[in-house]
Amino acid sequence: MHFENNLAFAHALDQADPLNKFRNDFLIPKIDGKEIIYLCGNSLGLQPKNTRLFINEQLDNWENLAVEGWFEGDSPWMFYHKEMQKLMAPLVGALPSEVVPMNNLSVNLHLMMVSFYRPDQKKFKIIMEGGAFPSDQYIVESQVRFHGLNPDKVIIEINPRMGEETLRTEDILASIEEHSNELALIMFAGINYYTGQFFDMKSITEAGHKAGAYVGFDLAHAAGNVPMSLHDWNVDFACWCTYKYMNSSPGGISGVFIHEKHFENNELNRFAGWWGYDEKTRFKMAKGFIPQAGAEGWQLSCSPVLMMAAHKASLVLFEEAGGIENLRQKSINLTAYLEFILHEVNKKAGSELFKIITPSNYKERGAQLSIIAAKNGKQIFDKLVNQNIIGDWREPNVIRISPVPFYNTFEDVYKFGSVLENSII
């Protein structure tokens, strides 16, 4: 598409956008009565207007049914998660039985490592991307120590080449092959939080399995952002939060994927809990854990219904929008326009004041562009905030900007560029 750097062009793109109507389904924060330009959905999505309705429905059930709400009403809490499985599965390319909402992301990653990190004297190493989100680093390190191993000798971090900002797929695959004899687990992000790079999950999974390792992904920045095919890619497990691109409340419930090929594998360890027990005999209160079929068998505690209600409020909007593929097409165009606008700012300045470190190939990124200012990055970011443009600052020097297709517009992107140009120090 040929872009233009003017407001009329941005307006024309918005008017031609069939998904533009969904902006009205979200609550846009205001300052002095004027909507802010919110470009931080990669950190916390905006609140859908229907969230109160979905939560209030369950509050009413609690009020009117009390404990009978687990079994009575239009959506008994006992089976509430099953309604959500059908809505969750298409967003990550899974079967409904392979996904379940539960816990939070870090807890779920720990639980998945209980099942899928099984070191022995021969196979004990873990490969992950260098600069992974800190919680992933802490989780992997603590799991390694839990097994009595030394993280310095077990964890292999793959970093970009000298002078480069992102990883090359061939370097990832080469590292997997190099360590194949000792490799037990690959745990990568789907999209790196800092650079915004969307990794080739299919190729990584194939290489990992060829090396005899399990392969799992942290999809915090990928779920609800880019289409995936976890089942067809044969991914072993994945976890994600839902409060970013899935707009499901601060600290909202997490999602888990476990490939169906593992459902009958009794050799997998798991930390068992009440809600993962076979639902047909759960209330017999018998000893000896018998897991519920599917990903549900990894659940621990009773479903947090209010958190799931907030998640469901957003999931139904994904369905109404025609799925992640429709949103992805708009996202590709929005992010491309953002990239164009940033290049225009640099062109007017006569130098690369703002370096984009996110891959330029749309297949290797989602909605986010990560930008490094040549100088005064934090001051420039603060100026944007003072002009009611909300992005995200990440130490030591990156501004993350994410136009979300559900509620951001091409006009938002154009106005961001105009303010950015006037914020240069």
What is the Cα–Cα distance from 113 to 99, expressed in whole angstroms? 17
With pLDDT > 90 as the criterion, what percentage of the chain qualifies?
Answer: 94
Asked whether residue 379 carries a pLDDT value surpassing 70, the answer given is: yes
Average pLDDT over residues 314-330: 97
pLDDT digits (tens, 9 = 90+) for 191-213: 999 999 999 999 999 999 999 99
Average pLDDT over residues 254-279: 94
Asked whether residue 425 carries a pLDDT value surpassing 70, the answer given is: no
pLDDT at 414: 97
pLDDT digits (tens, 9 = 90+) for 85-141: 999 999 999 999 999 999 999 999 999 999 999 999 999 999 999 999 999 999 999
Asked whether residue 240 carries a pLDDT value surpassing 90, the answer given is: yes
Domains of the chain: 7-35+323-422 (3.90.1150.10), 54-320 (3.40.640.10)
pLDDT digits (tens, 9 = 90+) for 1-28: 789 999 999 999 999 999 999 999 999 9
pLDDT at 350: 87
Integer angstrom CA distances of residue 339 from 190, 225, 367, 372, 411: 21, 17, 11, 13, 14
Asked whether residue 422 carries a pLDDT value surpassing 90, the answer given is: no
Q: Which residues contact 72 (CB under 8 A, 6 or more apart)?
A: 65
